[in-house]
Amino acid sequence: MMEYILLFIAAVFVNNIVLSQFLGICPFVGVSGKVSTAAGMSMAVLFVTTISSMLTWVVVKHVLIPLEIEYLQTAVFILIIATLVQFVELFVQKVSPSLFRTLGIYLPLITTNCAVLGVAIMNIRNEYDFIHTVVHAFSTAVGFGLAMVIFAGIRERQALCDIPGPLQGTALALITAGILALTFTAFQEVM
C-alpha cells in the first residue's frame, strides 16, 4: 500500500507532468484563464488519462506484444486516446453545454495532449503492472489538474492587478508558470 501512496505523491508533486516534465503545456497555458474552466479541463484529462492508460496497457500486453507489433504502439495509443476524447466531448456537450463552449478547441486537443500520450508511454516503459498503471495515470492526471487549477487561480488574481504593458498576457503567464514550477521543485528535496 505504501508503494502506491509514494507513487501517487511522486506523480502529483515531485514529477508533476506539467511543471517538472513539461508535457501538456498547451492546455496548461491556454485553458487556465478561469478556475472553473481549468477544473473542467482537469476532469476531462483525468478521465481520458486514466482510462486510456488502462486500455493501452491491456492492448500492449494482450495484443501488441503477443503479435510482436510493438512498433505500432504510438499509433495505437493515439487511436485509443482520440476515441476516448470523442466520448468525453459528447458527454460534456450533453451534460454541460456552457463548459463545452468554454473549453472550445481545447477539448478536442486532449487527443494530441502530449501529457495523455506521455503517461501511457511512461507506464509501458516503466513496465508497470496494471494496478501501478492505473495509480500512476490517475496520480499524474491529478497533478496536472492541481497545477492547472493553482495556475488558473493565480491568473484570475493577476487579472485584477495593474500589470505593466510588456508583461501582460503570455509573458506574465510564462513567468508565473516558471515560478510555480520552482515551487514544486521543493518537493524533490522532501522525497
| pLDDT single digits (tens) 59-96 | 999 999 999 999 999 999 999 999 988 888 888 889 88
Question: Is the distance from CB of 92 to CB of 175 less than 8 angstroms?
Answer: no
Neighbours of 167 (CB within 10 A): 12
Query: Which amino acid belongs to residue 42?
Result: S
pLDDT at 191: 61
Q: How far apart are CA 110 and CA 118, in angstroms?
A: 12
pLDDT recorded at residue 31? 79
pLDDT tens digit at each of 191 positions of the chain: 899 999 999 999 999 999 988 898 888 888 788 898 888 888 888 988 999 999 999 999 999 999 999 999 999 999 999 998 888 888 888 988 887 887 777 677 777 788 999 999 999 999 999 999 999 999 999 999 999 999 999 999 988 888 888 888 888 888 888 999 888 887 776 66
CA distance 118 to 147: 17
pLDDT value at position 145? 94
The pTM score is 0.87
CA 150/CA 139 separation, integer angstroms: 16
Residue 75 cell numbers, joined: 499509433
pLDDT of residue 43: 85
